[in-house]
Amino acid sequence: MLTLLFVSLGLLLLLGLLFKFAFADGDFTLISKKHVKREAIEGKVVWITGASRGIGEVLAKQFASLDAKLILSARNKAELERVKSELKGKYAPEDVKVLPLDLASGEESLKHVVEQAVSLFPEAGVDYMVHNAAYERPKSKATDATEEILKTTFNVNVFGTITLTKLVAPLMLNQGGGHFVVISSAAGKVPSSGQAIYSASKHALHGYFHSLRSEFCQKGIKFTVVCPGPIETSNGTGASTSEDKKSPEKHVSSERCAELTIIAASHNLKEAWITHQPVLLVMYIVQYMPSLGFWLMDKVGGKRVEVAEKKGNTYSWKLLFGEKSKTN
């Protein structure tokens, strides 16, 4: 009887976990952290790149509401000023700093920008460096990518981001610590047909920042790599965007993505996945059963590119079961 009771409880627990997983919008560790640790954010200097729109804009609004001191960067100064004017918080909008930045401008230019950033809040430094800026093109065949697209993608997503990190890290070491929050992508964790160049750039970031964490984890610098799947953004930016708003498959809102990103950072999670099914399931399978995961992605790959070319939904369950998603 006692054995039957334990088996029944175990089955109930398993069913509960499966139900929770079916409707989750993040990995188990992330969604277990329910709330932001406000004390980890309040009064801290947060520098956000790609802050003029999309996820970066929403991150700025949520960090401001948590009473962080903000530095907003992107190429478009006018849009940064617009974002600044809409922020609310203890230090917003009056004390929010706008600092135009082009990640592809080269090390000398970025060095000058970093010097400016450090001077904006004297004696405070930079507590959080949020790498959100990214370059992404519509999905297409890998062989169709031009050299210009390859160079532009890596100049922004990889070389610029790494160079900025290389310049900010010594300052964090001197001030006794800091935290890099890297907005990567699910495409940086699993094969992503139709996004070969973008996926390669995000895989590069994973290799760099996880290696950097190993070097600096004993020196007070923390790293959180965030991997969003398809995200619903109001103006087409971010780690990913909704391609088919009529699709029944859910996309995580940019507001929820930003919230979970800040939760992950405030709890010092090393990596966080933000996405609904079926992408979340695929990420787990590729992570823990790579042979099966790669087989699934090979099954989907060619069809996904075809659906993308027809402006259909490339994140549909139907791709796994041999059907093509409806096009617009």
Catalytic residue among 91, 128, 198, 315: 198
CA separation for the pair 309, 234 (Å, rounded): 22
CA separation for the pair 140, 138 (Å, rounded): 6
Write down the H helix ranges in the chain: 2-22, 28-31, 54-65, 77-86, 107-120, 147-154, 161-175, 196-216, 254-266, 279-288, 290-309
Pair of tokens at residue 280: 């979340």
Does residue 91 have an active-site annotation? Answer: no
Query: Residue 157's closest CA among 100, 203, 201?
Result: 201
List, as own/partner pairs, every contact residues 30-36 make where C-beta atoms lie below 8 angstroms and the sequence separation is at least 24, other chains included: 30/260, 30/263, 30/264, 30/269, 30/272, 30/273, 30/274, 33/263, 33/264, 33/267, 33/269, 34/263, 35/263, 36/66, 36/259, 36/262, 36/263, 36/266
Among all residues, which ones are annotated catalytic? 198
